[in-house]
Amino acid sequence: MSEKEKNNDSAKINFEDLSTIFESNLKIYNQYLESFKNLGVNQSNISPFNFNNQGSKNFTINDLSNLIAPTITKMMESFKSFSTEIQQNPNIYFDHLNRWISQIANLNFYFITRASGGIANPVILEEKTDKRFSNEEWKSNLFFDFIKQFYLISTNFLSNLIENVEFKNPKDKRLMQFYLKQLNSALSPSNFVFTNPEVLKRTIEEKGNNLNKGYENYRKDFEKHPNKLFIQQSKDGGFEVGKNLATTKGKVIFKNNLFELIQYDCATDKQYSKPMLVIPPFINKYYIMDLNEKKSMMKFLVDNKFNTFLISWKNPDSNSRNLSFKEYIESGILEAIKVTCEQTGSLSINIASYCVGGTLASLTLAYIKNIPSKYKITSATYFASLIDFEDPGEIGVFITEEQIKSIEEQMKKTGYFDGKDMAAAFNFLRPGDLYWNYVVNNYLLGNEPTAFDMLHWNSDSTRLPEKMHSEYLRCMYLNNLVVKNMYKIGDVEIDLSKIDTPMFSVATTEDHIAPWRSVYQGLGYYNSHINFVLSNSGHIAGIIQGVENKPGKLYYYSAKFEKNKNPDEWYTVAKKFDGSWWQTWSSWLAIYSGELKKPSELNRKVYETLYEAPGKYVRE
């Protein structure tokens, strides 16, 4: 065994020992519950935690070790690189350390002055958008104010230090920033009972019963999805598909082993003759496009005279392990186009796609340049979709050869990648908003999460076929083969420059999954006339926003994408508009949708109704 292998072997964590420690702690917890009976605390809703260290028949402690080992290794490599850079440039460290010491000294002076009844200005203020410190006690109570400021000064010290260190490999810097964000978020004083005034007050008032209710919430989360870092973000039972989600009227007219096709009912006296096919992502259920009446894109399209069809993807299981992008194109999108055109009598169609559905749509457009089809795609709309994966944002920290190999080893056992794992990864791209605030609310305060449709959808994830997901990670995220003209669908070479279909592309300013600059950069590989919109807000809220003109809702728009302008140059000259971009898109789409006709002239009923929307696949 080499010296390196010995070091790696000695650094491995013994998860069997950790499992024993965890079980011992759970025994202590169950004894703790028994002791509370003597204090008169209500125990009716609290039950002992039964832990099975196998998690599930497909997931063991060793699997957990293997799954996170690449991440731990990468963390250690990043810290080593950071340490090396600091040693070579010690002045950077000491400059920031001296600044930190100076601020801590000022904080001590601030504390003494206020404790003596004097008036002093805070050394540091939290961001206005930082909800962790919204409770008044963080300002009025000197103890909590001191803790908050000490935390903010220290996290700023670390963040600024990493920002000013020059790394030989820029990716190491991004990795360090990501890991530091996780550390800073986890160590926030708001996450602990005795340093969070709201939690401490609740604990005293309820004699600790809030912590018991919180642990019960944790127990339920763990039993639902062992080893997935799952935390309930939306109240159970608050939403039901077909009842208060996905309620736009329609009919399933076709199904195969990949998708159901929904044709939405006409809501106007006339419709455009060229149909619209909507391609949602296959990572989550389609009903993000039909969330509620005010934010339903499907209802918006139908109300604006578009003859609308939508793909509802089937949730894959182990029998789907060999499905690849080729099947999703040929038996998925192209089959849906064929059915839609036969149903309407049109030889051309518009498509709209979201997230990875957009990546799939682009591959399809390039594919049919080599495999001729009798049906033409007249226009293509993209919502927050990447085709250039050179800079996929913070999610890139999860994309390494070692990590992908680990995921592939796990998929060999199941035949699919569990969407819960991807949801957990996405949550930790915004740890404060999507994880730790729920830890405080659900586990420390003992509250139930509120009912929120977007978060309910976010937790309703789907699986991804083994072959397709491996292809997605390797060919796109890891090697970015599509824009390099090095990617094939079967024997068909994918060349984006052959695509000349008119496009309407939408990106969002706060997108942590499809960063807007990367979305914009990818448009340069097409040979199309492109209208580009930059909507404020995030990956979901910036797209599924409805048409109401609420305060703060705005977008930037240009009617012609110019390849010679980089994203920031475009931003400086783009026109700014208040409100929703949906109407702008509708006006653009109408140009490519043909003449208006009566619904009876457009629906040939080649395919009869199988059952009513939202269908069966969305409920699986």
Are 395 and 512 contacting, i.e. CB atoms less than 8 angstroms apart? yes
Selection from 178, 221, 191 nearest residue 459 by Cα? 221
Q: Which residues of 221-249 are buried (b: 16+ CB within 10 A; e: fewer)?
A: bbeebbbbebbbbbeeebbebeeebbbbe
CA distance 548 to 118: 49
CA distance 552 to 197: 31
Which residue in this structure is represented by tokens 């296959």? Answer: 282
Residue 15 tokens read as: 């998860």
Which of 266, 341, 355, 475 is catalytic? The answer is: 355
CA distance 488 to 544: 33
Burial-class residue 286 by CB neighbours within 10 Å (0-12, 13-18, 19+).
Answer: buried
CA distance 392 to 355: 12
Which residue in this structure is represented by tokens 């914009």? Answer: 520
CA distance 365 to 96: 52
Longest dimension (CA), the chain: 84
| Active site (annotated) includes residue 355 | yes
CA dihedral 67, 71, 73, 74 (to 10 degrees): 150
Count of Cβ atoms closer than 10 Å to residue 149 Cβ: 23
CA distance 338 to 496: 22
CA distance 605 to 590: 24
Selection from 605, 607, 599, 612 nearest residue 252 by Cα? 612
* DSSP secondary structure letter of residue 384: S
CA distance 293 to 85: 54
Report the DSSP beta bridge partners of residue 576: 556
CA distance 284 to 457: 8
Residue 217 tokens read as: 């919430």
**DSSP, residue by residue, 209-267:** HHHHHHHHHHHHHHHHSTTTT----S-TTS--BTTTBS-S-EEEEEE-SSEEEEEEPP-
Selection from 529, 585, 528 nearest residue 557 by Cα? 585
Pairing of strands 503-508, 492-493: unpaired
User: What are the distances in angstroms from CA 153 to CA 105, 124, 509?
Assistant: 11, 7, 28
Are 606 and 254 contacting, i.e. CB atoms less than 8 angstroms apart? no
**Hey, which residues are catalytic here?**
355
